[in-house]
Amino acid sequence: MSDTGHNLRRVAAELTAGSRRYNDGDTAAGAHVLAGLLLEVSVHDPEPDPQTVETFLRVADRILERSVRLH
C-alpha cells in the first residue's frame, strides 16, 4: 500500500474514533461517511487522484476541528 493509502487509513481511523464523541448527529454521520470513502479509496485505488485526496483530507480536518470545538 502506498503512503497515500496509509495516510487515508489513518485519517479514517481518527474520524471513526472521533465520531463516537460527537454530540452533533450530522457531524458523526459525516465522519462515518467520509471514513468509509477514505477506506474505499485506500483499498481500491493504489494511486488515487491527488486533488481528490486533498479534498477528502480537507473535509476530514474540518470535521476533526469541529469535534475539538464541541468538547
Read off the pLDDT of each residue in 10-33 and give the average, rounded to a whole number. Answer: 74
Q: Which residues contact 48 (CB under 8 A, 6 or more apart)?
A: 4, 5, 8, 41, 42
d(CA 17, CA 55): 21
Q: Indicate whether 64 pLDDT > 60.
A: yes
For residues 34 and 60, is the Cβ–Cβ distance under 8 A? yes
Q: Enter the pTM of the model.
A: 0.65
The SS3 call for residue 4 is helix
Residue 15: the pLDDT is 77
- The total number of structural domains that make up the chain: 1
Domain housing 42: 3-70
